[in-house]
Structure 1
Amino acid sequence: MGFLVVLTLLLLGLVVGGSIERNHFRDLEQREHASRHRVVLSDKHCDDPRPVARASLAVGSVVISTDYFKQFLAAWRLLFGGELRGHATLLERARREALQRMKESAPHADLFLNVRFETFMISQNSQNALGTVELFAYGTAIRFVRRLDDDLDVPSPHDARR
C-alpha cells in the first residue's frame, strides 16, 4: 500500500509538476518578449550620453519549489552522483522570474544598471537542501529625460544601440 502511495505521488509530480513548469516558461517568454527593449546590464556605468531624469532601486524576488518527482530524482542523483538537471531548470525559472519582476517593479525605466542576483536555498533541515530556492534580483532603474520627438515616435540616433 505504501509503495502505491509513493508511486502515485511520483506520477502526480511528473504530470502536474511538468505542466506547471511548461506553463511558467511559456508565461515568462511572453512577459520577457514584451519587455525586451528594456536593457539590463551588470555594469555599474553606462556610456549613454542622454541625461538621466530619474534613478531608483528596482527589486524582484521569487520563491520556487520543485515537485515531488524532481525531488525524488535529485535524491537518487545525490546518492549515485550526476548532474541535477531538474534543479538547473528550477534556478533558471527563478532567475528569469526574479529579473522579470524587477523590470515590472520599475515600469517606466529605460535601462537597469548594476543588476545583481542573490540566491538562497530553503529547506526544513540542513540535510535536505533540495527543492526550494529564493532568488532576489536588484539593480538601479534609470529613466532618461524625454524629448518631444520621443513622444512622437521619431527614431533617434540612440535607437540604433538598442
Structure 2
Amino acid sequence: MELIIQFGVIAFLLLLGLVFGRAAEQRHFRELKQKELILREVLVFSEKHPPADQEFRSANLVVGSVVIAEDYFKRIAASLKSLVGGRLTAYESLMDRGRREAIIRMKQAAREAGASMIFNVRIETARLSESDSNRQALFAAEFIAYGTALVPATRP
C-alpha cells in the first residue's frame, strides 16, 4: 500500500510539473508574439550588403542572446522518442523560443541605437550542459543573434 501511495505522489508531482511547464511555455510564446509585433518595424536581413541607394548615418554591431534550459518533462519525452527515432518535437519548441528571443533582443538593441534595419544577421547556438557522476546532465542552449544595425541618415 505504501508503494502505491509513493507512486501516486510521484505521478501527481510529475503531472503538476507538466501542467505548469506547459503553461509557462505557452506564456513565453504569447510574450514573444507581442514583442515581435512591437519590433516589426526593425527589419532583419541575412544579406551582407545594404541597399546602395540608401544612406546611413552609422553602423553598429548589435547582439541579442538568451539561454534556455530544458525542463524535466522535455527530457523524458525526448528520451522516449529517441528510442524509436523521429522528430524530437519536445526540443523543437525550445529551439524556436530561443531563436525568437535572441532575435527580439537583437532588434531591441538596434531600436535603442536608432536603427531601422539590421544586415548580415547571423544566429549561433551553443549547447551548455553540466553533469557529474551523481546526476543526469542538465541541457541548456545558448542562442546568439548578431548583425550590423544601420541608422538612417534622415528620419522619416
Where does residue 70 of structure 1 map in the other structure?
Answer: 74
Following TM superposition, by how much is the alpha carbon of 1:48 offset from its aligned partner in structure 2, in angstroms?
Answer: 5.0
TM-score (norm 2): 0.85
Which residue, 108, 116, 124 being the options, matches 1:110?
A: 116
- Runs of 5+ in structure 1 lacking a partner? 151-162
Following TM superposition, by how much is the alpha carbon of 1:24 offset from its aligned partner in structure 2, in angstroms?
Answer: 0.5
Where does residue 25 of structure 1 map in the other structure?
Answer: 29
Following TM superposition, by how much is the alpha carbon of 1:80 offset from its aligned partner in structure 2, in angstroms?
Answer: 2.5
SS in structure 2 of the partner of residue 139 of structure 1: strand
Is the CA contact (8 Å cut-off) linking 2:131 and 2:138 kept in structure 1? no
* Identical aligned residues as a percent: 44
Following TM superposition, by how much is the alpha carbon of 1:21 offset from its aligned partner in structure 2, in angstroms?
Answer: 0.6
Q: Show CA shifts across 1:62-111 (max 9, x none).
A: 00112211111111112222211010010000000000000111221101
For residue 121 of structure 2, what is the amino acid of its counterpart? V
Where does residue 138 of structure 1 map in the other structure?
Answer: 146
Q: Which moved more, 1:135-144 or 1:74-83?
A: 74-83
TM-score (norm 1): 0.82
Is the CA contact (8 Å cut-off) linking 2:110 and 2:118 kept in structure 1? no
Following TM superposition, by how much is the alpha carbon of 1:123 offset from its aligned partner in structure 2, in angstroms?
Answer: 1.5
Partners of 1:13 and 1:118 lie apart in 2 by 30
Higher strand share: 2
Q: Do structure 1's residue 42 and structure 2's residue 50 form an aligned pair?
A: no
Q: Show CA shifts across 1:7-33 (max 9, x none).
A: 234213311111111111101111100
SS in structure 1 of the partner of residue 25 of structure 2: helix
Partners of 1:72 and 1:13 lie apart in 2 by 12
Q: How many residues align?
A: 147
- Runs of 5+ in structure 2 lacking a partner? none
Partners of 1:10 and 1:73 lie apart in 2 by 13
- Name the CA shift for 1:5/1:140 in 2 (closer, same or farther; >3 Å): farther
Partners of 1:85 and 1:109 lie apart in 2 by 35
Partners of 1:139 and 1:122 lie apart in 2 by 23
Q: Where in structure 1 do 4 or more consecutive aligned residues deviate above 4 Å?
A: none
